[in-house]
Structure 1
Amino acid sequence: MKKVVFAAIVSAVAMFGSVDMAFANRPTQIVVQERVSSRGPESFQVFCAINPRECQPGGDAKIALDDDVMRLLTRVNSRVNRAIRPRLDSPLAQVWRVNPSVGDCKSYVVSKRHELIRAGLSPSALRIAYVKTRDGQSHAVLVVKTHNGDLTLDNLTGEIRLFRQTGYRLVGMSGSDPRRWG
């Protein structure tokens, strides 16, 4: 029952766009850090229940990194970063959306994952990570597992970097099955 009520609230916020504009000055990070269980944050679990095709695993857990893949990652990272106007979700409801016109870091992450899967990358190599930035802010990024290291696609920068070079502290990350977190 609790999950049904939560899903209804999240759906209503997504449908009617009632986002608190007072938080627009910090548009790229998470206002409220959710607890990350073995199934991910509750808001992500709701996203997967509503959008099960977006949460499917499959393919290799790591991909081979070559020039074509790097160009694809750069193109998708840049396109999604430009396409979504940054705006935080309400602290009362954290919402994950694929390709919205406005959204916070969570929507950037699932949009990039969606586009990369559509372009042929293995879903199991595309991981969602909850992190803390250097200044302690909660944030979400997409981590691409490659044989050459874990690359980070981030809406705070256009540069794709190895995760260990971001300065972020990992809070939780999805596994090869995005519905399983560690």
Structure 2
Amino acid sequence: MTKTKILKSCIAAFGLTLALSGVAHAVPASMSVIGRANPPIGAYEFCRDNPSECDQTYADVGPVNLTEASWKEILKVNYQVNSTVVPMTDQDIYGVEEKWAYPQDVGDCEDYALEKRKLLIQVGFSPSDLLITVVLQPNGDGHAVLTVRTDRGDFILDNMQNKVMLWSETAYRYLKRQSVTSAAGWDKIQDGRATVVGSVGQ
């Protein structure tokens, strides 16, 4: 299937996605934030080395209005980055265990998230609605995704798949995400869907 056909099929499902996100959920469509959190070490070092990326503060004007146009941009950026960046670990790229950076053809999960965030800001999304988020995978490994806050709920852009889903529909355990008012600030997430034994990056 061509990229155009994939995007058209995803956009055609727009109405269904909105309908589903409007249905009452056992878990809210938007994450619950319960206080401040320490940034992941990779995020701290990224901000230290790239202060212009993190020294801005934003006014939180609320989640973006999810229209057909904004949904199309979300799907397009997620697919574009997933299909052009080759997954590779920081150890293989930089020789270190953890390094956050914009990908140059290769990258790992947080690099994908950084690139998607940058591209969505370029097409008009507010930085306060584009939040890099740290999660646990079902196997207990740490992972990073991009959360897009919308009036229909928090949607997840993931380098492991092209489908964009509500956070509550994923199998991840949510730990923390960037603050809506500062790229350098981080907030702890209340994920009440399951009990997790142990966690990372807290």
- TM class by shorter chain equals 0.7 to 0.9
Q: Give 1:149's aligned residue.
A: 153
Report the AA paired with residue 166 of structure 2: L
Q: Is the 8 A contact 1:133 1:168 kept in 2?
A: yes
Q: How many residues align?
A: 146
C-alpha distance in 2 between matches for 1:61 and 1:175:
13
Q: Give 1:126's aligned residue.
A: 130
- Spell out the pairing of 1:81-160 with structure 2 (5 A cutoff): 81-90=82-91, 92-160=96-164
SS of the residue aligned with 2:175? strand
Q: Give 2:186's aligned residue.
A: 181
Q: Is the 8 A contact 1:54 1:114 kept in 2?
A: no
Higher strand share: 2
Q: Is the 8 A contact 2:156 2:164 kept in 1?
A: yes
> What is the root-mean-square deviation in Å for CA atoms of aligned residues?
1.7
SS of the residue aligned with 2:72? helix
- Spell out the pairing of 1:3-22 with structure 2 (5 A cutoff): none
Report the AA paired with residue 117 of structure 2: R
Q: Which moved more, 1:47-56 or 1:72-81?
A: 47-56
Give % identity.
34
- Spell out the pairing of 1:27-42 with structure 2 (5 A cutoff): 38-42=37-41
**Structure 2 unaligned spans of 5+:** 1-35, 188-202
Report the AA paired with residue 79 of structure 1: Q
Q: Is the 8 A contact 1:100 1:107 kept in 2?
A: no
Q: Give 1:72's aligned residue.
A: 73
Which TM-score applies when normalising by structure 1?
A: 0.74
C-alpha distance in 2 between matches for 1:108 and 1:155:
6
SS of the residue aligned with 1:40? coil
Note the C-alpha offset of 1:178.
2.0
Report the AA paired with residue 143 of structure 1: T
Q: Is the 8 A contact 1:125 1:145 kept in 2?
A: yes
Q: Give 1:162's aligned residue.
A: 166
Higher gyration radius (CA): 2
C-alpha distance in 2 between matches for 1:57 and 1:122:
12
Q: Is the 8 A contact 1:39 1:179 kept in 2?
A: no
Note the C-alpha offset of 1:39.
4.3
